[in-house]
Structure 1
Amino acid sequence: MDVCRYGVSRQAWEILFLAEAEKVAEVRRGIRSHLRLWGLSERADVAQLCASELVTNVIRHVGVGTPTTLAVSMSGTFLRIEVHDPDTRALPTLLQTDHHAESGRGMALVDAVTDRWGVHIRDDRKVTWCELATGLDTPEGHIGGARVTRAEALLALYGAVDLPREPAAGSLISLAQAEEAAIDVIADLLHWLRAHGRDPDEALDRAQTHFEAEVVYA
């Protein structure tokens, strides 16, 4: 099991809105933006689909303009999506529909792409929820595999070891080999940034700015 030295903070968040068709796009944007910050961009498409269907279900079966809440959180290592609405009578139903049906397919889609889903009835509202597996080892862990783990190890060591003034005998490699190794290091670090919800392009731009400033003033 990989150990993440630099945990990814994934604080639960929610948005309140009136259930209207034009709000669905806003919900989808919010999902994608937060999952990028959480290093879970790979789950964004499915999460957006689920949130869209749950909100659309409220619009169709509870009513346009219904006060609605979208809540996204981690449930262990699963991504949890909840839609709250005030109608405790109109319960989502999993219908068996053919592929020509124009309605009734929402929960069937949610059922097909999620690991589990359900409905909780509370005193003042119902909560329709679904959960998606993330592939994380821990709720604060990262996705990215060996490259991200290798970059973490490099970051943990970087600056902690003084470089020798003279290379050890027999330790020299060719310039071409060293260049390839440096490129691999940069690629690994870009994978690490993405896995931790950071923007690799922005980091490259900042690194280039630092590099050019240091070259100019060296």
Structure 2
Amino acid sequence: MSRKPWDLAFMAEPEEVGALRRIMRLHLGIWGLHDISDEAQLCVSELVSNVITHVGLGTPTTLAVSMNGTHLRIEIHDPDTRALPTLMDAEAGSETGRGMALVDAVADRWGVLLRADRKVTWCELDTGLTSPSGHVDGAGVTRAEALLSLYAAAKRPRAENSSRLGRATAEEVVIDAITDFLHWLSAHGCDVDEVLDRAQTHFEGETCEASGGWGGG
């Protein structure tokens, strides 16, 4: 899976926080990183709120998201190189001072980089990936890997174990398997189109559930 870096410029306003959270959730869903969606959204909220509180409303800011090895890297760029975020022990019930403490609690690491024209506050979250372009194993993925391993051995004796197949070869094995299942359905009098529609609906439902639903914010 290709996870290309992306960034988004915005004005630091409270109403932007919800939109940024939704964008983050959407992109992580596309990247297959549902498991860290809540933590990533929290980090975005707190880092942007930190700019609003300590740099000022309407500050031109940029959210940048990328992969650093198997970690998700979230960066917030703002033009103030003097107002540096600090980790504080906010008292219980305190309205301020908790932002970086929350980031510190959920992120594996965080820090601040100073450039000539801007400050970059960043944090990184462990994705659970085995490689930057890999996937996070879930129950469905694990079952599919086991089936593909058996299928590849039966139909493509020279193929390697499916967990080590190249992407192009693995896709061909998947296509072969789906085609054979469609032949089986047709031979048993099943409506192939209906089964495909139900499978697609099931897949979309599981994906939506994993990413927190369609309308969360």
Tell me the TM-score normalised to structure 1 length: 0.69
Distance 1:148 1:32 in 2: 25
Question: Which of 66, 73, 97 is matched with 1:73 structurally?
Answer: 66
2:133: which partner in 1?
140
Deviation at 1:9, TM superposition (A): 1.0
Considering only CA atoms, is the larger Rg found in Structure 1 or Structure 2? Answer: 1
User: Structure 1 or 2: larger helix share?
Assistant: 2
Report whether the alignment pairs 1:24 with 2:20. Answer: no
Cα distance change of structure 1 residues 117 and 141 upon mapping to structure 2, 3 Å threshold: same
Report whether the alignment pairs 1:122 with 2:138. Answer: no
2:2: which partner in 1?
9
Cα distance change of structure 1 residues 148 and 96 upon mapping to structure 2, 3 Å threshold: farther
Residue type of the alignment partner of 1:103: T
1:87: which partner in 2?
80
Distance 1:43 1:147 in 2: 22
Deviation at 1:147, TM superposition (A): 2.5
2:33: which partner in 1?
40
Residue type of the alignment partner of 2:49: T
Distance 2:125 2:26 in 1: 17
Distance 1:152 1:130 in 2: 37
Deviation at 1:157, TM superposition (A): 3.2
Distance 2:121 2:106 in 1: 15
Distance 1:103 1:21 in 2: 15
Across the aligned residues of Structure 1 and Structure 2, the Cα RMSD in angstroms comes to 2.5
Question: Which of 47, 51, 76 is matched with 1:58 structurally?
Answer: 51
| Residue segments in structure 1 that go unaligned for 5+ positions in a row | 1-7, 164-185, 194-198, 204-218
Question: Which of 145, 170, 194 is matched with 1:149 structurally?
Answer: 145
How many pairs align? 163
Cα distance change of structure 1 residues 63 and 139 upon mapping to structure 2, 3 Å threshold: same
Residue type of the alignment partner of 2:15: E
Report whether the alignment pairs 1:98 with 2:91. Answer: yes
| Residue segments in structure 2 that go unaligned for 5+ positions in a row | 152-170, 181-195, 207-217
Report whether the alignment pairs 1:200 with 2:203. Answer: yes
